[in-house]
Amino acid sequence: MINFFLMVNKQGQTRLSRYYEHVEILKRTTLEAEVIKNCLSRSKEQCSFIEYKDFKLVYRQYAALFIVVGIDETENEMAVYELIHNFVEVLDKYFSRVVSDLESMQPASSLEKP
Amino acid sequence: CHGLEQGTGVERRGEGVELEEAEGCKSKEAEIKRINKELANIRSKFKGDKALDGYSKKKYVCKLLFIFLLGHDIDFGHMEAVNLLSSNKYTEKQIGYLFISVLVNSNSELIRLINNAIKNDLASRNPTFMCLALHCIANVGSREMAEAFASEIPRILVAGDTMDSVKQSAALCLLRLYKTSPDLVPMGEWTSRVVHLLNDQHMGVVTAAVSLITCLCKKNPDDFKTCVSLAVSRLSRIVSSASTDLQDYTYYFVPAPWLSVKLLRLLQCYPPPEDAAVKGRLVECLETILNKAQEPPKSKKVQHSNAKNAILFEAISLIIHYDRWVTPPSGAPPALLLLLPPPPPSAPPVLKVAILAEKYAVDYSWYVDTILNLIRIAGDYVSEEVWYRVIQIVINRDDVQGYAAKTVFEALQAPACHENMVKVGGYILGEFGNLIAGDPRSSPLVQFNLLHSKFHLCSVATRALLLSTYIKFINLFPETKGTIQEVLRSDSQIRNADVELQQRAVEYLKLSSIASTDVLATVLEEMPPFPERESSILAKLKKKKGPGAGSELDDGKKDPNAEMNGGVEPTASTASTPSPSADLLGLRAAPSASSGAPPSSGNLLVDVFSDSPSGTAGLAPGTEENFLRFVCKNNGVLFENQLLQIGVKSEFRQNLGELRVGIARGWGESSCPIHRGDGPGELNVQTKAVEPLVEGGAQVQQVLNIECLNDFTEAPLLNIKFRYGGTLQNITLKLPVTVNKFFQATEMQSQDFFQRWKQLSLPQQEAQKIFKASHPMDSEVTKAKLLGFGSALLEKVDPNPDNYVGAGIIQTKALQVGCLLRLEPNAQAQMYRLTLRTSKESVSKHLCELLSQQF
């Protein structure tokens, strides 16, 4: 199950947050801050799945924006990873220029070799 | 939120100006002031005498919502929003729903009104209105809503006249209600019809239905067990669909990836299908998925491979899930593992199965069973790391040791038993055979005889391992001492041609004869647990103190007198793995000169004497220069130090080559060189036996026959170990076999050359390098180098007479690659421009790299 869906920028400001189970407001801010900290401290070679408390974080970076999805163990991480991209492509189709160049913003993905 | 995008898009026109003002505010105070002004305005409008028209109401409610999203609290507007719900205009209704979904209010009167509106919309038969209502219920999901609607939604879901979009929303809405208030969603007649939604032609409906069923079946498996066959047929249809079907659901050439993953997940909620037809279809389907994973990708985009891999991982997860059911206690191979198609040597499925088995193992006896079954079924493709790991786990876990001993003992009874099974079995019985020795059917002598019956069928490495097991048996079971000593004493052991076996036999025999029982027990003490690591098999190669230390070196490491067992180095089997490219994660067979990492898994060099500097693996210093000198010539000195000199004479023809490696000794005590050639999978390197002893001042020659199977970039490694002055010396060199050695010069006329040059005009076919000359730019020397490289030198082809032009064909077993080259010198700048054009990108790049370093 997807527990939460976040869009956070590099400065730590949450641009969009959607929680699919109840999380208190104060806890949300802490969660978001910690989550972005985890994502920012990753290098390009490290994979996009982080174990965080009892979730897994699946994140993807588009320019200065991080999309982070918190999932539990019933989800397939790779599928969620691509779901994020699908989401961004849909936004792009709807609103155009959501990300100035989707292609060039691809994180250098070492996920090709499982 | 649903509809948020549409809302703000539509409404921007209306209140754009005011809101932009708010956004444009320079300071927080200014913004708050502006907002408050607006709020006051809206408040007055709502309280006003004049009834607001629909459009205005919608406008102000939307503004309120926007202000709320900016972060300001809103304490009014709910009534107006609820009023909007009863409008017949979509845009007004939508804003109403949006507001109440985001700003949930617990006022009971409002809740009653809201539920009323929802009820009306659900009954309206207008799909858009129905969807709005369903989304609202799903987003809010309160208990009151569940009470009001939990019985209605299943009815909508399975009704024949419900539109696809409504079915989708209803399924997900029901899922939400079930999650928050499961007691309010009783199973009923509708469950079987929900299962049939898996057959729906609308993929969106199927996807939503799968999510719903997956959740429901966890608590109510019987109600939904008919979903298995439908899920299988649906999955089968998706996986085998042509690229033109499922057009709307194809993601980077992968058909319905998320739905496929969900279906595979759903199947993991149930045991394997019993019906033969369904089972057959499922097996076919899984085979297709596994096969597709090994096919060349349809797209270079990472999204394509990610999507494909997501499905692959889930499929493997399912296979492992089934394994639990299908493994009978007697240990017969699970039918489903048999469906793994025979994979090529670098087998991802086998390794993935091992990794997943470890990850998802609930109890370790299951894990041990799985790995042993893997060895039984796909023994050839089980790399060392996999069975090292199972041994490591058995050693670390007391509770599974007896079980492991019993299981391997049984496995070894099979008449045709894979060599990896003998290795694992030999090791485990050596450590834990005592746990089953009480049973007369597996008494010590029975265990010994069982192992020894396989002895002569095994490779050197395995036999070495078994000898270690035998000495451990002498320690564990003194009654076997006589029998085992006889074996060790026999000519076939103590006079064995292989140095390693001979040494072990001799030394173990001596140890068993002269050591007191106490000393023996200390030396052959049970292997202590390995330190637990976070990472599993994946990090193995990087660690020096890997399980390779465990399997062969326990004696050497714990022996207090290093000399006695000195020189015991791991005979990590090169024989049993069919190809050294059975390596993890595609790590290269040969390291680059800069890294000190140990070479391929087939040549795992572990540091026995950790304080001995020459014990470390890695290329010997100075080898890179010498290696480069061999690119354009076939004879010369490859390595030299004060102890020895290594020269190479080579000859190549088509895709075959013969290297004569001569090792000349300097002065000093006698040494005992052991060579091993190891190469990338694309080269087949055969070595002929060599004299084990080289006296001072003498020379020994080793002949290596090379067959080039495919183009390659990494050179094979030559590893030479020898004992000098009591310490073990170790030199690793790159063998001077580069792909251009298989170059066959091709003469051609100018016309032909330019025609072919034009044919190879794709960007990936060309590699170009501009570089400074590191040697004097002498024309004769350059020509000689190009000829030595293997190319033909074509005269009168290039209009500029100073330029050099060449052509040739790389000969490998798998393919031939035509190559054209052009070298343009600039004497004034002391630079060159080198252009290579071949039909294969990797060849162009590599040849360009090699050749540019020659000038």
pLDDT, one tens digit per residue, over B488-545 is: 988 888 888 888 889 999 999 998 888 888 888 888 887 877 776 544 444 433 343 3
Give the helix/strand (H/E) hosting B824. strand B816-826
Average pLDDT on B124-140 reads: 94
Per DSSP, the three-state class of B325 is: helix
Residue B4 has pLDDT above 70, yes or no: no
- CATH number of the domain at B740-852, please? 3.30.310.10
Burial of B469 (0-12, 13-18, 19+ CB in 10 A): buried
Feature table: binding site of B: 45, 55, 59-63
A6-35 pLDDT, tens digit per residue, is 999 888 888 888 898 888 888 888 899 899
Beta strands in chain A (DSSP E): 2-9, 14-19, 49-52, 55-62, 65-71
Residue B611 has pLDDT above 80, yes or no: no
- Tell me the shortest Cα–Cα distance from B843 to chain A, in angstroms: 22
Cα–Cα distance for residue pair B92/B96, rounded to 1 Å:
6
Average pLDDT on B426-439 reads: 91
Per DSSP, the three-state class of B831 is: strand
What share of chain B in percent tops pLDDT 70?
78
The predicted complex's ipTM stands at 0.88
Cα–Cα distance for residue pair B430/B432, rounded to 1 Å:
6
Could you tell me the sign of the dihedral formed by the alpha carbons of B572, B575, B577, B578, in that order?
positive
Q: How many CB atoms lie within 10 A of CB B303?
A: 20
Q: How many CB atoms lie within 10 A of CB B428?
A: 26
Q: Does the beta-carbon distance from B302 to A111 stay under 8 Å?
A: yes
Q: What is the pLDDT of residue B544?
A: 33
Q: What is the pLDDT of residue B539?
A: 46
Average pLDDT on B409-427 reads: 88
Q: What is the pLDDT of residue B252?
A: 92
Burial of A13 (0-12, 13-18, 19+ CB in 10 A): exposed
A78 to chain B: which residues are within 8 Å by CB? 306-307, 309-310, 313
B794-816 pLDDT, tens digit per residue, is 888 888 888 999 999 988 888 88
A112 to chain B: which residues are within 8 Å by CB? 302, 305-306
pLDDT-derived band at B393, boundaries 50, 70, 90 = confident
Q: What is the pLDDT of residue B305?
A: 92
| Residue A92 forms contact with B (CB below 8 Å) | no
| Residue A67 forms contact with B (CB below 8 Å) | no
Residue B571 has pLDDT above 60, yes or no: no
Q: What is the pLDDT of residue B763?
A: 86
Closest CA to B571 of B672, B495, B462, B492: B462
In the block, which residue shows the tokens 């730590």? Answer: A12
The DSSP secondary-structure symbol of B568 reads: -
pLDDT-derived band at B590, boundaries 50, 70, 90 = very low
CA A110 to chain centre: 17
Burial of B24 (0-12, 13-18, 19+ CB in 10 A): exposed
Q: What is the pLDDT of residue B209?
A: 96
Contact of B478 with B517, CB cutoff 8 Å: yes
| Residue A78 forms contact with B (CB below 8 Å) | yes
Cα–Cα distance for residue pair B92/B3, rounded to 1 Å:
12
How far CA B463 is from CA of B203, B226, B600, in Å, comes to 58, 53, 22
Per DSSP, the three-state class of A11 is: coil
A114 to chain B: which residues are within 8 Å by CB? 309, 312-313, 348, 352
Residue B550 has pLDDT above 60, yes or no: no
B636-684 pLDDT, tens digit per residue, is 888 877 777 788 888 888 888 888 888 776 554 444 454 555 556 667 7
- Tell me the shortest Cα–Cα distance from B127 to chain A, in angstroms: 22
Cα–Cα distance for residue pair B572/B33, rounded to 1 Å:
77
What share of chain B in percent tops pLDDT 90?
31
Q: What is the pLDDT of residue B587?
A: 28
A53-82 pLDDT, tens digit per residue, is 888 999 999 888 899 999 998 899 999 999
Residue B566 has pLDDT above 60, yes or no: no
- Tell me the shortest Cα–Cα distance from B307 to chain A, in angstroms: 6
Cα–Cα distance for residue pair B854/B773, rounded to 1 Å:
9
A83 to chain B: which residues are within 8 Å by CB? 258
Q: What is the layout of strands, in order, in the sheet containing B727-734?
A: B674-678, B717-724, B727-734
Residue with the bigger pLDDT between B266 and B617: it is: B266
Average pLDDT on B370-386 reads: 79
Q: Which residue in the set A94, A95, A111 is minimally distant from B306, CB to CB?
A: A111
Residue B194 has pLDDT above 50, yes or no: yes
B110-130 pLDDT, tens digit per residue, is 899 999 999 999 999 899 999
Structure token digits, residue B19:
């809101």
pTM: 0.49
Q: What is the pLDDT of residue B643?
A: 72
Give the helix/strand (H/E) hosting B309. helix B302-326
Structure token digits, residue B643:
């102890």
Cα–Cα distance for residue pair B77/B65, rounded to 1 Å:
9
The chain A residue lying nearest B302, using CA atoms, is A112
Give me the long-range contacts of B5-12 (CB less than 8 A, separation at least 24).
Answer: B5/A94, B5/A95, B6/B94, B7/B62, B7/B65, B7/B94, B7/B95, B7/B98, B8/B66, B10/B91, B11/B58, B11/B59, B11/B62, B11/B95
Q: How many CB pairs under 8 A join A and B?
A: 49
Q: What is the pLDDT of residue B577?
A: 29
pLDDT-derived band at B63, boundaries 50, 70, 90 = very high
pLDDT-derived band at B576, boundaries 50, 70, 90 = very low
Cα–Cα distance for residue pair B328/B812, rounded to 1 Å:
48
The DSSP secondary-structure symbol of B610 reads: T
In the block, which residue shows the tokens 């959740």? Answer: B215
Residue with the bigger pLDDT between B247 and B81: it is: B81
Contact of A69 with A80, CB cutoff 8 Å: yes
Cα–Cα distance for residue pair B841/B634, rounded to 1 Å:
26
- Superfamily for the B573-737 domain: Gamma-adaptin ear (GAE) domain (2.60.40.1230)
Average pLDDT on B578-601 reads: 31
Residue A112 has pLDDT above 50, yes or no: no
Q: Which residue in the set A74, A82, A109 is minimally distant from B307, CB to CB?
A: A82
Q: What is the pLDDT of residue B554?
A: 32
- Tell me the shortest Cα–Cα distance from A32 to chain B, in angstroms: 17
